[in-house]
Amino acid sequence: MELIKHLLFSVYFHQEMIYIVILMIFLGIEVIGRVPSVLHTPLMSGANAIHGVVIIGAIIVMGSAESDNYVALILGFLAVILGTLNVVGGFVVTDRMLEMFKKKK
């Protein structure tokens, strides 16, 4: 009962976020729905780079870690590196793929 109350409160408290989730689900499907199959790989790669936005969470973890909390510092540092790999690597790979598409003209 306590848990249900907690979760219900969370729904109320996060209602804005929940609206965003629902709208984004539809938007994501709409936007992708029109992609020609030629672009499937670059698109997957581009989407891969975009979910690298998780890096922001890593930055927050790292930046809010107390200077004596070594576990948070080390894990946060690692998370920043991995997240950056995802973002930068993802965008560069996608660009490389798309560069070749342009060349044919």
Partner 1 sequence: MEISILTICYLIGSVTFILGLKMLSNPASARKGNLVAATGMTIAIFGTIFLYRYRTSDGATANLTNLPWIFGGLLIGSIVGTLAAKKVKMTAMPEMVSLFNGMGGACAALISFVEFGHIAKHIQEGQPINKGTFLTIFLGLIIGSISFAGSMIAWGKLNGKVKDFSFKGQHIFNLALFAVILALAGFLLLNIDVSNIYLFYVISFLALLYGIFFVLPIGGADMPVVISLLNSFTGVAAACGGFLYGNKVMLTGGILVGAAGTLLTILMCKAMNRSILNVLIGSFGAKSTGAGGDAKAAGNYKEISLSDAATVMAYANKVIIVPGYGLAVAQAQHTCHELEKYLEEKGVEVKYAIHPVAGRMPGHMNVLLAEADVSYDKLLEMEDANDEFKSTDVVLILGANDVVNPAAKNDPASPIYGMPILEVEQAKTVIVNKRSMKPGYAGIENDLFYQPKTSMLFGDAKAALQKLLAEIKGLD
Q: How far is the CB of 60 from partner 1 (least distance, A)?
A: 6
Q: How far is the CB of 20 from partner 1 (least distance, A)?
A: 5
Letter for the amino acid at 100? M
Contact 86, 52 (CB under 8 A): yes
Contact 32, 43 (CB under 8 A): yes
Binders in 51-90 for partner 1, by CB under 8 A: 51-65, 67, 69, 71-73, 75-90
Is 7 a binding residue for partner 1 by CB under 8 A? The answer is yes
Is 15 a binding residue for partner 1 by CB under 8 A? The answer is no
Give the separation between CA 71 and CA 75, rounded to whole angstroms: 6
